[in-house]
Structure 1
Amino acid sequence: MLEEMMKFIKEVDKLKTIERRTYVSDGSRRENSGEHSWHVCVMAMTLFEVFERKNETDLFTSIQMLLLHDIVEIDAGDTYAFDVNGYEDKHEREVRAAERIFGLLPEGARTKYRSLWEEFEEGKTNEALYASIIDHIQPLLLNISTEGKSWMEHNIYAHQVLNRNEWIKAASPTIYSQINEWVGMGIEKGWLLKE
């Protein structure tokens, strides 16, 4: 049992080698998926007070989801938020990765971790909604911090950012208002393309 756990722990260290499209806040380099997972957990802890459904949401469960949700990128790679072609087989790639990577664990942990990963992917519970909100806004924060560096590299339009995050309006109007503010700033500064 301990040997299986250690094998899994060693395997997930590979998440630190998966480069994302978003830059760290000083713009010096791209962040990796391990850094992203840590950052979204800190964000989830910090922003929980403004989440309108906090009284019906278990923060610890959301944090567990955030720690586990990108582990599949070890095999599947990071799919950029606006990569239409990458999304065509994203789910299949990630399911295969989940089977292999969570399969390294002893049965009890394997079932629990896989269940948390699937709950996040389905996005139906308050915990999964909150985790997904945080996962969506973290790259926006980093784009604002780097004067739209990743947005400009990929010629992203304001409507793309708004469409991708529209669902957040119903789940958390407070956090969605921050997204609107950031998009407005991105347009004003020329970091996001207009129609």
Structure 2
Amino acid sequence: MNYIAIKDIVRSVSQTHKFEKDYLKAVNTSDVFGGELLDVPYSETTSLKGQFKKTIQFNDILFSEIRPANRRFGRVNIKDTADYVVSTKLMVLRKFNEDVDLDYFYYCLTNQSFLETLQRRAENRIGSFPQITFDLLGDYRFPIPTLAEQKRIASVIANIDSKIRINREINRNLPLTA
């Protein structure tokens, strides 16, 4: 089985947003969690802090540089991202390697064991808080089976994730009994 470094699968993209609109949806680390890009309200462009600079596109992965164990990551599942600007505290990862399935890579990147490894590395970093950079992240390697096998693995995990989401929704809608 081949092992491929993250930097050979995705790039960290830092395209600066053009700010051509009066209102934008500003995505911060608190707006992504456990795979979900939460609904973000519009903000006046003039009121946005200087950290909001990055442009995103469909299927990008947003991954917090701060405290990886907090699970602040998500996939961009919005087709029209023109109204979104992202904080510089989020890495924008864009896949370029055609031999790697995006879903498979995403599950490798966000599995609990790997997040714990990143957290330990972040805590060993000298700084005011546990942080990682793409330079650190990019050198990690993942096992990459055939593309067909990657898709099969990702499909199985996606089915389990779907069942978990459905169960959570059912549990939220259950009546409370005393």
The structure richer in helix per residue is 1
Give the TM-score normalised by structure 1.
0.27
Give the TM-score normalised by structure 2.
0.28
